[in-house]
Structure 1
Amino acid sequence: MQLRLPASIAEAQRCLAEGAVPIGGATLVWAAWQRDGFPEQALSLRNLPEANVVGSEELGGAVLLHRVDATVPEVLHRAAAGVGTGAVRRTATVGGNIVGSTLRCLLPAALVLDARATVLEPDGVSETDLTELLAKRHLLLALRWRTPLVSGHRKVEGEAGGPPPLVVAAAAHADGDGPGELRVAVRDGYEVLSETTPLAPDADHALHALERTDLGALPAPAREHVREVVTDVLARAGARP
């Protein structure tokens, strides 16, 4: 297998056009390739500057999870810090986790940030939403979002060998002269739910609105975690000057 390491967008496009298969951090594909056979060419974006940025409103798809620090919003930083072991975080990438993994530990955080995806295809670079990113399994160059007022994240400890542990993410966003919005996302098993409600200082009001969405059908323990995360985020948002 030839590993190609493009250093420019144009070079990466040529690799895709010539059939190179994106490899991410190889934490997920390696075992499958050992079982099913290796492709002739693999593509890593680790040398591509556009895929390695870490900023307050942008995160590259090739960034290793251990590099996701407090530069990004709290919800995304804590989500990355909670993935696997330290060894996994030093190998796994943002793009591999969101697009290549069935667990998608970073997806709830990206959803509550209302992130958009910059993707690379053989014929160019474009921007899309997370729904299309996952449906078409695009090659992720970077995520971009608007800075929230406050965000929060909780990953509940799961059972060894059991289903993926519950994840709750929330973010409060300003909206000019309007009331703003509260975005909440939950990973329950392998399913990720995301809902939005107008931002209000009264947590009971926001939680009542969320109960009328699909989040209201979650099991009682999951709804309690949602209540606690939402209450904390709204309290911190209300305390901001």
Structure 2
Amino acid sequence: MLLRLPTSVSEARHCVAEGAVPIGGATLVWATWQRDGFPEQAMSLRELPEANVIGPETLGAAVVLHRIDERVPEVLRRAAATVGTGAVRRTATVGGNLVGSSLRCLLPAALVLRARATVLDAEGVREAGLAEVTAKGPLLLGLHWRTPLAGAYRKLPGEAGGPPPLVVASALHAEAGGGRSLHVAVRDGYDVRDDSVVCDGGAAPALDALRTTTAFGDLPAAAWEQVRGQTTDLLAAAEGA
């Protein structure tokens, strides 16, 4: 297998056109390749500057998870810190987690940040929503978002060999026209759902409104209690800040 390491977006585009298979840290595909055979060409973005940025409102797809630190919002930092073991986090990348993994541990945090993706396809570099990224698996270059007022993240303990543990993420945003909104995302099993509501009236009306949304109307009671507790604490802390 030939591993290609493009150093520019144009070179990366050329690699894709020639059939190179994008990989992150290869933590998920290596066993499959050993079983089914390796591709002729693979491509890593670890030498591509655009895919290695870390900042308050941006994160590159080639960044390995253990490098995600206080430069990014706390909700995203906490999400990265709960992925796998330390050894996994030193190898797994943002892009591999969001595009190559069925667990997508970073997705709830990215959703509540209202992140947008920068992707590379046959037409060049463009912006895409997270729904397209997770459904179609384009070549992800990075994420960008607007800094929230506050955020929270929790992954409940899981059983070895059992279903994915419940994840609840939330973020409070200032809206351009004034006021605030609450965005919540939940991973329940392999299903990830999210929605946002206006929250200028406090936690109780915001939670009532959230419970009537399509995303959260049928959320199981145990998961809803986690949402209720987290968002109540988040809004209380924001009021006291």
TM-score bucket of the superposed structures, by smaller chain: over 0.9
Give the secondary structure class of the aligned counterpart of 1:3: strand
Is 1:217 matched up with 2:227?
Answer: no
Q: What residue is the counterpart of 1:106 in the other structure?
A: 106
One-letter identity of the residue aligned with 2:85? T
Is 1:128 matched up with 2:128?
Answer: yes
Q: What residue is the counterpart of 1:3 in the other structure?
A: 3
Give the secondary structure class of the aligned counterpart of 1:114: coil
Taking structure 1 as the reference length, what is the TM-score of the superposition? 0.97
Larger mean CA deviation between 205-214 and 106-115 belongs to 205-214
Q: What residue is the counterpart of 2:43 in the other structure?
A: 43
Q: CA deviation at 1:237?
A: 2.0
Say if 2:53 and 2:63, in contact at 8 Å, map to a contact too: yes
Q: Deviations over 1:186-227 (max 9, x none)?
A: 000000010110022511111111111232322222111101
One-letter identity of the residue aligned with 2:168? V
Q: CA deviation at 1:178?
A: 2.1
Q: CA deviation at 1:232?
A: 1.6
Whole-angstrom CA distance in 2 between matches of 1:219 and 1:230: 16
Whole-angstrom CA distance in 2 between matches of 1:177 and 1:35: 55
Say if 1:216 and 1:223, in contact at 8 Å, map to a contact too: no
Give the secondary structure class of the aligned counterpart of 1:192: strand
Give the secondary structure class of the aligned counterpart of 1:72: coil
Q: What residue is the counterpart of 1:168 in the other structure?
A: 168
Whole-angstrom CA distance in 2 between matches of 1:19 and 1:123: 15
Q: CA deviation at 1:100?
A: 0.6
Say if 2:197 and 2:209, in contact at 8 Å, map to a contact too: yes
Say if 1:186 and 1:194, in contact at 8 Å, map to a contact too: yes
Whole-angstrom CA distance in 1 between matches of 2:239 and 2:126: 37
Q: CA deviation at 1:135?
A: 1.8
Is 1:28 matched up with 2:12?
Answer: no
Larger mean CA deviation between 222-231 and 51-60 belongs to 222-231
Give the secondary structure class of the aligned counterpart of 1:62: coil
Say if 1:166 and 1:186, in contact at 8 Å, map to a contact too: yes
Whole-angstrom CA distance in 1 between matches of 2:54 and 2:30: 26
Give the secondary structure class of the aligned counterpart of 2:217: helix
- Structure 1 unaligned residues grouped into runs of 5+: none
Say if 2:199 and 2:205, in contact at 8 Å, map to a contact too: no
Q: Runs of 4 or more off by more than 4 Å in structure 1?
A: none
Give the secondary structure class of the aligned counterpart of 1:171: strand
Give the secondary structure class of the aligned counterpart of 1:215: coil
One-letter identity of the residue aligned with 1:56? P
Total equivalences in the alignment: 240
- Structure 2 unaligned residues grouped into runs of 5+: none
Say if 1:14 and 1:122, in contact at 8 Å, map to a contact too: no
Larger mean CA deviation between 199-208 and 14-23 belongs to 199-208
Say if 1:201 and 1:238, in contact at 8 Å, map to a contact too: no
Taking structure 2 as the reference length, what is the TM-score of the superposition? 0.97
Say if 1:57 and 1:72, in contact at 8 Å, map to a contact too: yes
Say if 1:65 and 1:94, in contact at 8 Å, map to a contact too: yes
Give the secondary structure class of the aligned counterpart of 1:154: strand
Whole-angstrom CA distance in 1 between matches of 2:200 and 2:207: 10
Whole-angstrom CA distance in 2 between matches of 1:93 and 1:199: 34
Say if 2:98 and 2:105, in contact at 8 Å, map to a contact too: yes
Q: What residue is the counterpart of 2:57 in the other structure?
A: 57
Q: CA, structure 1 residues 234+201, in 2 after alignment: closer, same or farther (shift >3 Å)?
A: farther
One-letter identity of the residue aligned with 1:152? A
Say if 1:51 and 1:142, in contact at 8 Å, map to a contact too: yes
One-letter identity of the residue aligned with 1:231? T
Say if 1:13 and 1:123, in contact at 8 Å, map to a contact too: no
